[in-house]
Amino acid sequence: MRRTASGGAGSGTATADNRLMSIGAVLRRLREEFPEITISKIRFLEAEGLVEPRRTPSGYRKFSAEDVERLEYVLRMQRDHYLPLKVIREHLDALARGEKVRLPGPGWPREPLEGVLEQRAEATATRIGRSELLSVAGVGETELAEWESYGLITPADDGEYDIEAVSVAKLVADLGRFGLEPRHLRVMKAAADREADLVEQVVAPLRRHRNPQTRNHAEATARELASLSVRLHAALVQSALRARPH
């Protein structure tokens, strides 16, 4: 049985009936809410198993209203909650089983927080203040100041921290429990800077383009390249560890 993003019957938001749509028609539909979406992105989500369009005998993709609902759900979870595709897939599977899904807030993965911080973090998923960052990471002012001195975390001009900084803080704190200090993490920061430079080389020509859609595509491409870079980095570390004698 094919699954929906709502865990039940399709709501009909993608089409007025059950007629199938071409990938071009899906692209036009999605661009009403997601102007940066591209055909390559839709194909990528299909390759990752997030959507399973039908195929005509000649090989053309045909999407149902249910397929479009799933794509909309995936794109919203990426845009609004910064969730990786693996987690989104698990959410879709849980919804298909009729289960309730609780969305994480900034700094995912993390232990549940309580009170006002939990409510604000999950409601906004944007920026938090310094005291809230300390609470999320479970560290004191001294540790945070040290992280900033090594360039691991940088506040915005208004002194608040974005979703990436929150994630970095949580990860640095977790690594610290294994004895890894900020000075040990400089090599990771340097590697991340080099990877960012590489991504920028690819998307810079797109950002300078006169066409607004091409410039929007640059941002989507940058995010996709960053995601692939992270996955490659993790795979290379695992491969290097397996290659070492035990």
Domain that holds residue 151: 105-180
Maximum mean pLDDT: which of 21-30, 154-163, 194-203, 229-238: 21-30
Into how many domains does the chain fold?
3
Chain-centroid distance, C-alpha 199: 16
Q: At which of 133, 161, 180 does a domain end?
A: 180
Average pLDDT for 20-33: 93
Residue 49's φ and ψ, nearest 5 degrees, are 80, 15
Any domain includes 176? yes
Using CA atoms, how far residue 36 sits from 85, 141, 207, 233, in Å, is 18, 39, 13, 26
13 has a pLDDT exceeding 50:
no
Confidence of residue 104 (pLDDT cuts 50, 70, 90): low
Any domain includes 14? no
133-176: pLDDT as tens digits: 888 788 889 999 999 999 999 998 888 888 888 888 888 988 88
Any domain includes 13? no
Any domain includes 5? no
Q: At which of 37, 69, 96 does a domain end?
A: 96
- pLDDT at res. 109: 43
Any domain includes 203? yes
Any domain includes 74? yes
Q: At which of 57, 78, 96 does a domain end?
A: 96
Q: Report the CATH number that the domain containing residue 75 is assigned in CATH.
A: 1.10.1660.10
Higher pLDDT, 49 or 110: 49
- pLDDT at res. 67: 94
Q: Report the CATH number that the domain containing residue 159 is assigned in CATH.
A: 1.10.1660
Any domain includes 8? no
CB-based contacts of 172, cutoff 8 Å, min separation 6: 137, 147, 152, 153, 182, 185
Residues 164, 212, single domain; the answer is no
Any domain includes 7? no
Average pLDDT for 7-33: 70
112-138: pLDDT as tens digits: 333 333 333 333 345 788 888 888 788
Residues 86, 114, single domain; the answer is no
Residues 223, 205, single domain; the answer is yes
Residues 91, 136, single domain; the answer is no
Residues 176, 186, single domain; the answer is no
For the ranges 20-29, 77-86, 129-138, 225-234, which has the lowest average pLDDT?
Answer: 77-86
Q: Among residues of the chain, what percentage have pLDDT more than 90? A: 20
Higher pLDDT, 19 or 117: 19
Residues 59, 42, single domain; the answer is yes
